Amino acid sequence: MNFYSILIVSLTLSFTSFAQQSPCDNLPQLLLNDTLTICEGDSVAVTPNVAGYDSFEWWDGSMDSVKWLSEEDEYIISGTFITGNLTVNGDFESGNTGFSSEYTYNATTIWGEGTYSVTTDANLVHTNLIGLGNGGTGNFMAINGTGTVNEEVWCQDVIVEPNTDYDFSAWVSSISPTNPASLQFSIDGTALGAIFNAPTTTGVWSQFNASWNSAAATTIEICITNQNTNLNGNDFGLDDINFIAYCQNLDTIEIEFVESLTDTVEDIVECASQFTISVEDPIAGSTGFWEYVAPPGAPTNVIFIPDNMQDTVDVIVPELGEYIFSYVNGCQDTSIIIVDVVSVTPEINVVAAQICDFEIALSVGNSDVQDGSWSASSAEGGSVIIDDETSASTTATVDDYGTYTFTYTFDFCEASFSQEVQILDEAPIVSVDEPYILCNRTVSNLTALIAGHGDHWEVEGPGAVIFTDFEAPVTSATVSDYGVYTFTYYGCNGSDAIEIEFVKNAPHITVPSFVECGMEAFLQVEYTGDPGTWSISNSYGDGYDLSIIDANNASLSGDEFGEYTVGYTNCDTTIESTVVFFCDLIIPNVFSPNNDGINPEFFIRRLDTRYYDKAELNVFNRWGLKVYHNGQYGLNNSWWDGKNSTNGDELIEGVYFYTLNVHNHVTNESEKYSGTINLKR
């Protein structure tokens, strides 16, 4: 047979020649393929993409637009592209830009030596000079030559492609006929050709031209210098500076003959009604096809999906057995595949026994062999619910302890396997971090260690109990009263219990018994559990101020001297103590019982029953005779009013002597006072 292939390549050459990019970058591919495979004895037509190239050539020197190839070999084609001008503003139409110069630029005059201008007419910048641009129009560079040798007139950096041929050219004119310029062109300081002399007459343009190979260079500097040092004349023009590349591109294509297909391949497919057969056809776009070769007595209803014209196809077969398939490619080579579809037993992954868990994970290890389904039974009559009977990995739920049998059956090959599972019971183990709890009616981390699913907590005790979660194996509980409680957890067909005692622990307070001539007392408390509360009371109703310093300390300030009861309540217990604020008696030295209502009695401040339980007052006149006596002075709310306690007569005005004996029941001390008192009428 004859087998033909035609390779058509159509690409577009498009790139821009800027100094920022190599002119030979991104040349279009000459050949679309680097390898083609054909049948032995056939030929293939290869069409190169030469659009955009200035010339091309095959390995044999021909320039065929379509090349017919028939032998196994590697074939070469080369293309040449000539770039545009690689210099920037080489025609000076953009003005004084894109290049550098050691000469001085002046836009309006070049009368000075070593100056230049970019102009359309040399006479515009120097009235003694004559010259227009190359071709008679446009800008050019007008230069007044200097006497300094090798001074740079024009220089520019250009990016180049290594190992590439380039052509450099520039047009030169004389704008003064005297002493024409002698120009040296160079690349990276190396002379490019011999010194080039400007024309001897004005109005004439001469072209300099030289070839150059870049070797290993990637960036170069092109320079023009004037070797004429004569200051008389030596005026010239530059225009249309060009630097172009001859870019080369090589491409290859290899022709290979189609390898013969494998003769026979044998395969085993386990318990699957659908499987894949495949062949590697080395012929691109081949018209190869599959055929089913039915041995004697074998089924004939075999289906190819999507059809038998693909390299790789799925096959559906009706039953177990051996199937033979042949593939014929475009070169009439044949490959045989023999597939033996065999029965396979499911590999069940199910635990043989589990404790306290009615959910059982079911899975099949070789589920990729064939689809199947689950079934279950119980010898004790327990019920089983399987979430998805047709899923290879699913979950079954049983309703009681006992033994259950689970079976998985492959659909196509009807192979099955069974596994017994025992659901066992095991009593929980109850524990707690602290079974003896002081001043706290909440127990935390009440824990039931259980092998599987649990049930609930129950409790007996002197009060009500509230659980955080009475079904959780780890929970907390709060009781209403102190005492001993029994907590029991039920689960996994068993139970376990623990006793927990909630105990009161009274707080201990430290307060001063009395504060002498002061109105502030420091209070301290020691307690267990959560902080409690302070309480203050005063039998006389005197005011006070309580300042809490921290959890263990407080400060009490009284408004009046007297006895204050201090209490602290914690752990359902209140402890009380007393503190007394008192000071010395204030005894006057004068009183005036003259019926004017002002200071009519011998009144002693702080002498009252809050502090004293005994007060005996004796008063004597100047002759030592006792004129007044009271054994409970002031405590019975009676005060000396200037009368004789014996006969009730008013005593005369004068100085009297007194003695006062008292007993302080706060300090349990006896006190004696004496002095004089002036009675005035």
Residue 240, pLDDT above cutoff 80: yes
Residue 239, pLDDT above cutoff 50: yes
Q: How many angstroms separate the CA atoms of 324 and 618, rounded?
A: 144
Token pair 């000075």 in the structure block, residue: 112
Instruction: Just give the CATH number of 590-679.
Output: 2.60.40
Q: How many angstroms separate the CA atoms of 222 and 217, rounded?
A: 13
Amino acid at 467: F
Token couple for 361:
């994970």
- Start-to-end C-alpha separation, the chain: 163
Integer CA distances (angstroms), 68 to 6, 40, 45, 302, 360, in order: 9, 14, 4, 43, 72
How does the average pLDDT of the chain come out, rounded? 88
**What is the assigned CATH class of domain 258-342?**
mainly beta
- 617-675 pLDDT, tens digit per residue, is 999 999 999 999 999 999 988 999 999 999 999 999 999 999 999 998 877 889 999 99
pLDDT for 261 equals: 66
User: Which CATH architecture fits 348-424?
Assistant: Sandwich (2.60)
Task: Tell me if residue 339 falls in helix, strand or coil.
Answer: strand
Q: Residue 339's CB: how many other CB atoms inside 10 A?
A: 20
pLDDT for 28 equals: 87
Residue 496, pLDDT above cutoff 90: yes
Q: Are strands 264-270 and 152-159 parallel, antiparallel or unpaired?
A: unpaired
Q: How many angstroms separate the CA atoms of 372 and 343, rounded?
A: 13
Amino acid at 251: D
Average pLDDT over residues 167-175: 96
In sign, the C-alpha dihedral spanning 132, 138, 143, 144 is positive
- 12-60 pLDDT, tens digit per residue, is 333 333 334 566 778 888 888 888 877 777 788 899 988 888 888 998 9
Which sequence spans correspond to the domains of the chain? 4-82, 104-245, 258-342, 348-424, 429-503, 508-582, 590-679
Q: How many angstroms separate the CA atoms of 54 and 252, rounded?
A: 19
Identical fold for domains 348-424 and 590-679, yes or no, is yes
Q: Residue 636's CB: how many other CB atoms inside 10 A?
A: 11
Integer CA distances (angstroms), 617 to 141, 370, 600, 620, 630, in order: 138, 121, 17, 10, 5
- 333-347 pLDDT, tens digit per residue, is 788 888 888 888 889
Which pLDDT band, with edges at 50, 70 and 90, does 172 fall under?
very high
Residue 9, pLDDT above cutoff 60: no
Which listed CATH number (2.60.40.1080, 1.10.730.10, 3.30.429.10, 1.10.3720.10) goes with 429-503?
Answer: 2.60.40.1080
pLDDT for 94 equals: 96
Task: Tell me if residue 122 falls in helix, strand or coil.
Answer: helix
Average pLDDT over residues 107-117: 95
Q: Are strands 416-424 and 402-410 parallel, antiparallel or unpaired?
A: antiparallel
Which pLDDT band, with edges at 50, 70 and 90, does 592 fall under?
very high
pLDDT for 263 equals: 63
What is the per-residue burial (b if ≥16 Cβ within 10 Å, else e) of 426-441? ebbebebeeeebebbb
Average pLDDT over residues 443-449: 94
pLDDT for 21 equals: 59
* Percent of the chain residues topping a pLDDT of 70: 95
- Please report which helix (H) or strand (E) contains residue 361, including its range: strand 359-364
Per DSSP, the residues of 86-105 read: -SSSTT-TT-S-S-B-SSEE
Q: Can you name the CATH fold of 104-245?
A: Jelly Rolls (2.60.120)
pLDDT for 259 equals: 65
Q: Please report, to the nearest 10 degrees, the dihedral formed by the alpha carbons of residues 643, 646, 647, 650 taken in order.
A: -10
Which listed CATH number (3.40.30.10, 2.30.110.10, 3.40.50.970, 2.60.40.10) goes with 508-582?
Answer: 2.60.40.10
- 372-415 pLDDT, tens digit per residue, is 999 999 988 889 999 999 999 999 999 988 999 999 998 888 78
Query: Mind spelling out the 3-state secondary structure of 420-458?
Result: EEEEECCCCEEECCCCEEECCCEEEEEEEECCCCEEEEE
Whole-structure pTM value: 0.39
What is the 8-class DSSP label of residue 202? B
pLDDT for 262 equals: 65
Average pLDDT over residues 450-469: 91
